[in-house]
A and B are shown apart, each in its own frame.
Chain A
Amino acid sequence: MAGSSSWSRALMQISPYTFASIGIAISIGVSVLGAAWGIYITGSSLIGAAIKAPRITSKNLISVIFCEAVAIYGVIVAIILQTKLESVPDSQIYAPESLRAGYAIFASGIIVGFANLVCGLCVGIIGSSCALSDAQNSTLFVKILVIEIFGSALGLFGVIVGIIMSSQATWPAKTA
């Protein structure tokens, strides 16, 4: 099965558990990066705008909650992914089934992580504009919230595809 060039041979010798663990790390780490980025973008505008218009604070916390949800998606998927890790005997580590399972978990982690990164950014930037517009004209809040809801659906898409990806990550059965 080893490829002819040394690079592909080297890649195939990396344990599938490495790939799986990195995938889990990315899913939680990059999601939280996206959530934090979004929260500070919204939060700094919200604090400044609330000085002149204190009424906006309670409603605009919804933007922060949408960003936070992105981090929660990352945690949930990371927990699901780590339940998919199973030990296989030494002879089976580099079997095609094992490699497939490792790559599936890795891919799932990347999908969720980066989808949540951009979702958190999107919701954060819209939340910032929402706070500033609400401070000037309170009828705008609900309309901009609709845009945010569409934005936060992007994270959900990532979670769905990630879970589907990881659900078919089956490690080879232990031979007796």
Chain B
Amino acid sequence: MYGFEALTFNIHGGYLEAIVRGHRSGLLTVADYNNLCQCETLDDIKMHLSATEYGPYLQNEPSPLHTTTIVEKCTLKLVDEYKHMLCQATEPLSTFLEYITYGHMIDNVVLIVTGTLHERDVQELLEKCHPLGMFDSIATLAVAQNMRELYRLVLVDTPLAPYFSECITSEDLDDMNIEIMRNTLYKAYLEDFYKFCQKLGGATAEIMSDLLAFEADRRAVNITINSIGTELTRDDRRKLYSNFGLLYPYGHEELAVCEDIDQVRGVMEKYPPYQSIFAKMSYGESQMLDKAFYEEEVKRLCLAFEQQFHYAVFFAYMRLREQEIRNLMWISECVAQNQKSRIHDSVVYMF
């Protein structure tokens, strides 16, 4: 019952909630980012990071470092923390934690299928996959020729199986189909996650609804902008939008007919939360849209920690860590390529 979770939440979730809040205190602060932005070389970055919680993961790396190594080790830390929490969790928290990784699973599936299409080596692709989204039979994805085989051979045993019902066709896989498949899978995943959170009820349902609705709306806007000028029809585009969120259903109707970014802006400015995002960009500029969305997402994720006794802190923590790894990747790339003037273009500060 909403309001009385404090009475029974701690039986199963108290320990893990305290752990995840402890992890949150280890996220990099503005002072850390300032130090990192002053670095001249990747070795300086490694030295600054060794003073933070990433220390044990980076200290054994030999110089010369690559940016991919830094990102890989930081991701490894996230994976270790996630696995520790997952093995301690009971139902329904364990299911909730698993739901968080299905997005990565979808990305990995699409990565391998695209790579196979372009004749890349399977081992090389497996190394590029996100560790949180790995599952056992992932290497056999390279064998499938079309979606039906993909489903029958590999995906029917994975948690992604129920999301495939909408996108099984017998056509061969090509770039366009794969993108549509990715977006259809992600749409099914978001809707499933949303229903699951609603079933959990209480503060979890309320906070996760807000976070997932923002995610759904952001994807709708990105799908619209990316499909302007491609051969994706309006109906196909409309099928890729999720059936919840602030934009559902009237915003989706309007977005489906947009043909350029200014029309998208016109649609989004009718919704107060998104108006502030679009107001940050001047007309005609869309590169900053990603950063504006990330900033808004980080703001909402930090607010999830304000309430106690719910599961959304786990989701928020994973997302904040991923944003931090994105920040570190950007900073490392700028430093490695000597483009330090552009560092502040894409770093999203958390606290």
**A 48-69 binary contact with B (CB < 8 Å = 1; else 0):** 1101110000000000000000
Cβ A136 vs Cβ B308 within 8 A: no
Which residues 102-143 of A sit at the B interface, judged by CB distance below 8 A? 121, 125, 128-129, 131-132, 135-136
B26's partner among A45, A49, A52, A131 (CB-CB below 8 A) is A52
Q: How far is the CA of A47 from the CA of B14 in the complex (A)?
A: 9
Q: At the interface, yes or no: A40 with Cβ under 8 Å from chain B?
A: yes
Q: At the interface, yes or no: B339 with Cβ under 8 Å from chain A?
A: no
Q: Specify which chain B residues have a CB less than 8 angstroms from the CB of A132 in the assembled complex.
A: 17-18, 21, 308
Q: Specify which chain B residues have a CB less than 8 angstroms from the CB of A131 in the assembled complex.
A: 18
Minimum CB distance partner of A49 in chain B: B18
A47's partner among B11, B18, B21 (CB-CB below 8 A) is B18
Given contacts A45-B17, A47-B15, contact A128 B10 (CB under 8 A): yes
Q: Specify which chain B residues have a CB less than 8 angstroms from the CB of A45 in the assembled complex.
A: 10, 14-15, 17-18
**B 8-36 binary contact with A (CB < 8 Å = 1; else 0):** 00110011111101110110000000000
Q: At the interface, yes or no: A41 with Cβ under 8 Å from chain B?
A: yes
Q: How far is the CA of A135 from the CA of B23 in the complex (A)?
A: 11
B7's partner among A44, A46, A121 (CB-CB below 8 A) is A121
Given contacts A125-B6, A129-B308, contact A48 B18 (CB under 8 A): yes
Minimum CB distance partner of A50 in chain B: B18
The interface of chain B, by Cβ under 8 A from chain A, is: 6-7, 10-11, 14-19, 21-23, 25-26, 308
Which residues 15-72 of A sit at the B interface, judged by CB distance below 8 A? 37, 40-41, 44-49, 51-53
Closest chain-A Cβ to B296's Cβ sits at a distance in Å of 24
Given contacts A40-B11, A41-B6, A41-B14, contact A48 B308 (CB under 8 A): no
Q: Specify which chain A residues have a CB less than 8 angstroms from the CB of B19 in the assembled complex.
A: 48-49, 51-52
The interface of chain A, by Cβ under 8 A from chain B, is: 37, 40-41, 44-49, 51-53, 121, 125, 128-129, 131-132, 135-136
Q: Give the interface centre of B6, B14, B17, B26 by most chain A CB atoms within 10 Å.
A: B14
Q: Specify which chain A residues have a CB less than 8 angstroms from the CB of B26 in the assembled complex.
A: 52
Q: Specify which chain A residues have a CB less than 8 angstroms from the CB of B16 in the assembled complex.
A: 48
Q: Specify which chain A residues have a CB less than 8 angstroms from the CB of B7 in the assembled complex.
A: 37, 41, 121, 125
A44's partner among B10, B21, B22 (CB-CB below 8 A) is B10
Q: Specify which chain B residues have a CB less than 8 angstroms from the CB of A49 in the assembled complex.
A: 18-19, 21-22
Given contacts A41-B7, A48-B16, 8 further A-B contacts (CB under 8 A): A40-B11, A41-B14, A44-B11, A48-B19, A125-B6, A132-B17, A132-B21, A135-B21
Q: Specify which chain A residues have a CB less than 8 angstroms from the CB of B14 in the assembled complex.
A: 40-41, 44-45, 48, 128
Q: Specify which chain B residues have a CB less than 8 angstroms from the CB of A128 in the assembled complex.
A: 6, 10, 14, 308
Closest chain-B Cβ to A126's Cβ sits at a distance in Å of 10
Q: Specify which chain B residues have a CB less than 8 angstroms from the CB of A37 in the assembled complex.
A: 7
Q: How far is the CA of A126 from the CA of B19 in the complex (A)?
A: 18
Q: Specify which chain A residues have a CB less than 8 angstroms from the CB of B18 in the assembled complex.
A: 44-49, 51, 131-132, 135
Q: How far is the CA of A20 from the CA of B11 in the complex (A)?
A: 34
Cβ A136 vs Cβ B10 within 8 A: no
Q: Give the interface centre of A45, A46, A47, A128 by most chain B CB atoms within 10 Å.
A: A45
Q: How far is the CA of A52 from the CA of B26 in the complex (A)?
A: 9
Closest chain-A Cβ to B302's Cβ sits at a distance in Å of 13
Q: Can you list 11 pairs linking A and B with CB atoms under 8 Å apart? A: A40-B14, A41-B10, A41-B14, A44-B10, A47-B18, A52-B22, A52-B26, A53-B22, A128-B308, A132-B17, A135-B21
Q: Specify which chain B residues have a CB less than 8 angstroms from the CB of A121 in the assembled complex.
A: 7
Q: Specify which chain B residues have a CB less than 8 angstroms from the CB of A47 in the assembled complex.
A: 15, 18
Q: Specify which chain B residues have a CB less than 8 angstroms from the CB of A40 in the assembled complex.
A: 10-11, 14
Q: Specify which chain B residues have a CB less than 8 angstroms from the CB of A135 in the assembled complex.
A: 18, 21-22, 25
